[in-house]
A and B are shown apart, each in its own frame.
Chain A
């Protein structure tokens, strides 16, 4: 809200009432549209918010100010959904009421829809926190309109470049967001990502960082996705003592004084177990805590640390937060597990090379009797440019063709994916190519033997389609009804 509006709001009078009418209209229409889209079974997450903002552009600010404790924004290329979902669990375990944009709708429109859905019909919000995962491009503006108490920035990788131009621009956007945050709050940053650490926020905000303190991870994929090679301060090539994945690691610059800060929260031991879980040891100041994490993959270590560091900034005892984290479930679309007709289904969202390589790495660790369905759409929410498929190590799957006898490709860009597999070394005539996701899903399920596992790797909108099909088969609930 602009200052003059704020004044009018307090003073009452005609202007006040006029705004109130607009707010009520925005809420009414927003809520009606949410009901309608759900009734139609489409789970529309942007249209209601978009319409409500058209009626009353300051609606996000109006709603944000009502939260009892405040807002936390989570941004970054990978790990937003999992991090905010973990943090949600930590806060809910303390009997706090949380608003959380769970289905990954993370631009201004989707966030407005999320907030409007939680108000009563007079536009009153009674929750304690809003925990909002925020698209990097929308981040600076959303910081301005919501005035968050806390922000978390997870990492910056190559992702959906068609929307934001280039990585430099994403970094600049996150930097602007950090500067826009009102003083007195806190910022949680990944110390292992040089592109985040170099960003200066406003003074007056507490800054906490987290990172890994492990020996080099042997299985690390390093060939693609190292998006940042030069020092963000002086442009000299960065020197890495350790790389955990892509450009995340222990770095310093030989040309200036820029180097990885000593993180406030450190992962000091990581012992993965065959079932995908891992035993962790985390150092916070002088305290050492241990926990058993149910989440697979290196990338989830960072997500877990981000959530834990935020809990610490909120003065939640680390041991309590750790207890909640031990019971965490994978977030929406990030490695979800189902069973259907005696077959195992694993859905793992893919959206950029670094994330997709991590997913492939986890799949390759699984046993035989598996089949694979890759569904690539190129709508705005997926990223319209499918070039990134060529930076994913699908070649790795060829070496393990034995454990993946059936591969299907689907989505609007099914044929691009088929060409990708062909050039990775697969025989294209053995691929099942079906643009329609419902038919592809049915076929892939048929081809999966009882007791076997079907891995489904969709982009964002393809994932929504596939979940809808699965819902119709009686699996799970619609995503907008979760929690």
Chain B
């Protein structure tokens, strides 16, 4: 039987700051190359959402002004979303929407903004933005695998005791720049600050999400092996650049 997954792309008009299009493209291509049918539903603020039809929810990062609009809209769907997550719906949230999934966000002015309370984490506005290449080692795979991307966030995120990080920081800042943790994993929800875009250069994460989406609808999860030599080279080259002191110093000479 032909396999199919339905991806809900939440607010592509508002949450699309850091090449999130690349993440969607990676999901589409890697399903297409395996003859898995993919249907993408773009969800705009105010649209009716029935999470019962969603196999994978993708949420990107937005700029501050757009994010407030989005937060207000999502708050109304909080109960439905939480129910779906508890049922095992896979969610992939990057940057701003990762913060939004937490319990609250403390702004620079000390104001406490409520989150969606899906992930046991909170975020505090930091003085300095955490910006740069980042490499983490993740437990999602055995043996562990690396993920490489670019982070750029003003907020510092702290995980509650019930939550596992997506990975341990090898290079970069991660959630808050102090505890060496990056991202969060809860049930089938993955939240992260990494973009770059993240999925194209880390094809095993893309495949992980596709498998979770298939499993969620009780479909066969075995994926045909692809020729990932280009992606793997890009992955290694990016890790090399992230770790290169020379590369960090280069650049003032323009």
The answer to whether B150 and A386 touch across the interface, beta carbons within 8 angstroms, is: yes
14 contacts across the A-B interface (CB closer than 8 A): A229-B13, A229-B66, A230-B66, A386-B150, A387-B150, A388-B19, A390-B20, A391-B16, A391-B21, A412-B247, A415-B230, A416-B201, A419-B231, A419-B234
Contacts of B154 in A (CB 8 A): 165
Closest chain B CB from A383 CB (angstroms): 10
Q: Which of B22-30, B47-55, B112-120, B178-186 binds A?
A: B22-30
Contacts of B251 in A (CB 8 A): 379-381, 384, 461
CA of A385 to CA of B22, assembled, Å: 13
Interface centre among A44, A46, A386 (most CB of B within 10 A): A386
CB of A47 closer than 8 Å to a CB of B: yes
CA of A391 to CA of B251, assembled, Å: 24
Q: Nearest A residue to B28 by beta-carbon distance?
A: A423
B residues at A contact (CB < 8 Å): 13-14, 16-22, 25-26, 29, 63-66, 68-69, 129, 131-133, 150, 152, 154, 195-197, 200-201, 229-231, 233-234, 237-238, 241, 247, 250-254
Supposing A165-B129, A168-B64, A379-B251 touch, asked if A229 and B14 sit within 8 A by C-beta, the answer is yes
Interface residue from B21, B66, B230, B253 paired with A419 (Cβ < 8 Å): B230
Closest chain A CB from B140 CB (angstroms): 21
The answer to whether B26 and A423 touch across the interface, beta carbons within 8 angstroms, is: yes
The answer to whether A50 and B252 touch across the interface, beta carbons within 8 angstroms, is: yes
Interface centre among A226, A385, A387 (most CB of B within 10 A): A387
Supposing A162-B131, A162-B150, A412-B247 touch, asked if A46 and B237 sit within 8 A by C-beta, the answer is no
Closest chain B CB from A391 CB (angstroms): 6
Supposing A224-B21, A230-B66, A387-B18 touch, asked if A418 and B252 sit within 8 A by C-beta, the answer is no
CB of A422 closer than 8 Å to a CB of B: yes
The answer to whether A385 and B252 touch across the interface, beta carbons within 8 angstroms, is: no
Supposing A230-B66, A423-B200 touch, asked if A387 and B22 sit within 8 A by C-beta, the answer is yes
The answer to whether A230 and B250 touch across the interface, beta carbons within 8 angstroms, is: no
Supposing A385-B18, A387-B19 touch, asked if A230 and B69 sit within 8 A by C-beta, the answer is yes
CA of A110 to CA of B25, assembled, Å: 39
Supposing A224-B21, A386-B196, A390-B25 touch, asked if A380 and B234 sit within 8 A by C-beta, the answer is no
The answer to whether B252 and A380 touch across the interface, beta carbons within 8 angstroms, is: yes
CA of A105 to CA of B129, assembled, Å: 24
* List of 9 A-B pairs having minimum Cβ-Cβ separation, nearest first: A390-B22, A387-B19, A379-B251, A390-B19, A415-B234, A381-B254, A380-B251, A428-B230, A415-B237
Closest chain A CB from B10 CB (angstroms): 15
The answer to whether A168 and B234 touch across the interface, beta carbons within 8 angstroms, is: no
The answer to whether A419 and B201 touch across the interface, beta carbons within 8 angstroms, is: yes
The answer to whether A385 and B68 touch across the interface, beta carbons within 8 angstroms, is: no
Contacts of B63 in A (CB 8 A): 166-168, 227
CA of A388 to CA of B251, assembled, Å: 19
Supposing A42-B253, A229-B66, A235-B65 touch, asked if A385 and B196 sit within 8 A by C-beta, the answer is yes
The answer to whether A378 and B241 touch across the interface, beta carbons within 8 angstroms, is: yes
CB of A114 closer than 8 Å to a CB of B: no
Contacts of A416 in B (CB 8 A): 201, 234, 237-238
The answer to whether B152 and A165 touch across the interface, beta carbons within 8 angstroms, is: yes
Given contacts A224-B21, A415-B234, 18 further A-B contacts (CB under 8 A): A46-B253, A161-B18, A161-B152, A162-B132, A165-B154, A166-B63, A235-B69, A385-B150, A385-B196, A386-B150, A387-B150, A390-B25, A412-B241, A415-B233, A416-B238, A418-B230, A419-B201, A419-B231
